[in-house]
Amino acid sequence: MLNNSKSPKNSDFYKASKISFSLEKLLDDFSFWFPKAGDYGFTADEMYAAEENAIVTLIPIPIVEDENYKLWLFYFYKAERVTPRIKEMILAEMNDLLDLSKISYLIHKETVFILADVVRGRITPKFGRKSVYVIKADYAYKVYEIIAKAVEGFVKSFRENVKYGDDLLALCDDLEKFAERMQKRADELKPSSTSPIHHPPVDEFSRKEAEEHIALLEKSRVIK
C-alpha cells in the first residue's frame, strides 16, 4: 500500500518527529483486528502498511454490500511542524503513497490524524466521510480518544438506526471492545492536567461525527 520510493525524505516535513507518541504502539493496538481479518475476507497483511512516519490501517464495519464488508480507513502521520500549507502537502502525499485501487470501493469512511511538535496557523478539523485532525504532540492522547468516541458513536448509531442480523452482532461487539481499548490507552496517555484552549473538546468531535454516521448509515445496505 505504501510506496516508499516516492517519499521526499529530505523535505522538512518528513523529518522524524521527537514526540513520545509511538506509531509502532498505535499499530500494535490496531493489531486487535489482524487475527480477525480472515473473517471479513482479508489477510492480516492487507489490513495495514507502515513506513517511518506514517501508518495506514483498515478495520471492518458492519455494513455489507454485494457480500463484501465495508472498511474504515485510518491514516496517521508524524511531523516536526505543520502549517495549513504543509497539511495539504501531507494529504496530497498520502494519496500518492496509498495503493488502494483494488479495494477503494469498499472504503466507507476515512479518518486522518496528523501529529506535530509545532502547529502554526489556524487549522480546523474537517468532519465528514473523510475527517482530518491536526493535533499537537502535547495532546497526542486525543488520537486514541477521538478514535474511541468515533467508533463507539458509529456502533451506537448503527444499533439504533439499522436493522441487522445476528451475523453482524459479533462485529458490533468487537468494535465496542476496540473502542474500549482505545479509550483505555487514551486514559493512560492523558496528562493529569490539560488545557482545553488549543483544541476543541472531544465531545464536539463526537457530536459532529455521530451526525455524519447517521447520515451515512441511512444510505447503507446490510445483510439481514
Residue 224 lies in a domain: no
Residue 43 lies in a domain: yes
Q: pLDDT tens for residues 36-55?
A: 999 998 888 888 988 889 99
Residue 222 lies in a domain: no
Q: How many CB atoms lie within 10 A of CB 176?
A: 15
Closest Cα to residue 155, out of 131, 176, 177? 176
Residue 72 lies in a domain: yes
Q: Which three cell numbers stand for residue 210?
A: 455521530
Residue 223 lies in a domain: no
Q: How many domains does the chain have?
A: 1
Q: Is 138 left (phi over 0), alpha (psi -120 to 50) or beta?
A: alpha
pLDDT grade for 145, boundaries at 50, 70 and 90: very high
Answer yes or no: is pLDDT of 219 > 50: no
Q: pLDDT tens for residues 66-95?
A: 889 999 999 999 999 999 999 999 988 876
Answer yes or no: is pLDDT of 18 > 90: no
Residue 30 lies in a domain: yes
Answer yes or no: is pLDDT of 102 > 60: yes
For the chain, strand residue ranges (E) read 48-51, 54-65, 68-82, 107-119, 130-136
pTM above 0.85, yes or no: no
Sign, CA torsion 50/88/20/75: negative
Residue type, 221: R
Answer yes or no: is pLDDT of 63 > 60: yes
pLDDT at residue number 10:
38
Answer yes or no: is pLDDT of 209 > 70: no
Q: pLDDT tens for residues 166-197?
A: 678 889 999 999 999 999 999 998 875 444 33
Q: How many CB atoms lie within 10 A of CB 181?
A: 17
Domain coverage including residue 22: 4-217
Among the ranges given (74-78, 104-108, 161-165, 219-223), the one the predictor scored with the smallest mean pLDDT: 219-223
